[in-house]
């Protein structure tokens, strides 16, 4: 096939990957803005390289005219979670969306691969709009923890290096590492609530500080500058105390002062 035709085939998949990265990242942002824990930690994606497509077509005996129906992972999205429990939450979120339809799932968490690979895969249908009209595509979404991703990334590189002939001692090491990753995920899950509380605390503080500074900046334009300097100094004192409740009180008081000056910062919800 000519290179231009590859571009024509792959272009809608490029668009789909970009769109889904934006959509999933927006979910992360929405959680953060609402001081909520996000079950998604990171999102990335890729369109399979032409050489990798050709290799898979050969290996699976897929003719070019059935490429788009039989190769389900031309476009791939990877969602990385902090904890194993988050994976189901993310899968449910995808299931409940109206812009994605689940075709099938592969659960390598309950059916761990012989290699030690663990991940949860969904094949979805997703429609992009092109100048030739809507195009319904298949895409693969891989959902896994940070630890699972660490293992899979290393193992993938070694698979590439050894091209199907991985020495037994390397395979054994990877198998041991997979067991360690499993135990790491379980350990992290056991302190999940403490970690989530700590992160929530930090997110609330981040949002409060952003709001307070926004308010101070607005006050600076509308009110007496000496007074604003005093407010800023008080803010530094409150911030240094590392007392969240004090910071919340300061935030409320500042809101009242700002309202007085009709200079209250536009709330983050309006800006979103």
State the nearest-atom distance from the C-beta of 160 to ligand 0O2, in Å. Answer: 8
As beta bridge partners, residue 77 has 45, 141
Of the candidates 72, 66, 153, 142, the residue with the CA atom closest to the CA atom of residue 107: 142
Would you state the structure tokens that stand for residue 87, as one six-digit string? 């994976």
Among 113, 173, 221, 249, binds ligand 0O2 (CB under 6 A): 113
The residue behind tokens 């799932």 is 105
**CA–CA gap between residue 14 and residue 47 (Å, rounded):** 6
Stretch of residues binding ligand 0O2 (CB under 6 A), selected from 112-120, 161-169, 234-242, 259-267: 112-120
Of 117, 150, 220, 261, the one binding ligand 0O2 (CB under 6 A) is 117
Query: Which is closer to ligand 0O2, CB of 179 or CB of 210?
Result: 179
Per CB under 6 A, the segment of 9-17, 29-37, 109-117, 198-206 that binds ligand 0O2 is 109-117
DSSP for 127-172? EEEETTEEEEEEEEEEEEEHHHHHHHHHHHHHHHHHTT---HHHHH
| Residue 83: CB atoms within 10 Å | 20
Name which of residues 53 to 82 contact ligand 0O2 (CB under 6 A): 56, 73
Q: Please list the active-site residues.
A: 140
Per-residue binder mask for ligand 0O2 (CB under 6 A), 124-163, x = binder: ----------------------------x--xx-------
72 CA to centre of own chain: 21
List residues binding ligand 0O2 (CB under 6 A).
48, 52, 56, 73, 106, 113, 115, 117, 121, 152, 155-156
């Amino acid at each position: 096939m000519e290179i231009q035709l590859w571009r024509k085939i792959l272009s809608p998949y490029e668009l789909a990957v970009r769109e889904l990265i934006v959509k999933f990242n927006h979910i992360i942002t929405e959680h953060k803005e609402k001081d909520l824990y996000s079950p998604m930690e990171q999102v990335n994606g890729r369109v399979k390289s032409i050489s990798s497509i050709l290799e898979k077509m050969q290996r699976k005996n897929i003719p070019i005219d059935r490429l788009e129906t039989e190769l389900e992972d031309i476009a791939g999205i990877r969602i990385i979670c902090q904890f194993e429990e988050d994976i189901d939450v993310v899968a449910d979120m995808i299931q409940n969306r109206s812009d994605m339809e689940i075709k099938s799932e592969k659960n390598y968490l309950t059916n761990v691969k012989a290699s030690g690979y663990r991940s949860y895969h969904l094949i979805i249908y997703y429609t992009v709009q092109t100048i030739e009209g809507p195009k319904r595509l298949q895409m693969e979404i891989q959902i896994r923890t940070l630890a699972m991703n660490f293992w899979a990334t290393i193992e993938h590189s070694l698979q590439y290096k050894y091209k199907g002939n991985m020495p037994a001692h390397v395979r054994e090491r990877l198998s041991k590492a997979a067991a360690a990753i499993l135990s790491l995920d379980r350990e992290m899950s056991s302190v999940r609530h403490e970690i989530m509380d700590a992160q929530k605390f930090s997110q609330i503080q981040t949002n409060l500080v952003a709001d307070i500074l926004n308010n101070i900046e607005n006050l600076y334009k509308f009110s007496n500058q000496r007074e604003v300097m005093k407010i800023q100094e008080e803010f530094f004192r409150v911030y240094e105390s590392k007392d969240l409740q004090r910071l919340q009180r300061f935030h409320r008081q500042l809101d009242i002062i700002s309202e007085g000056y009709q200079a209250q910062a536009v709330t983050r919800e309006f800006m979103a």
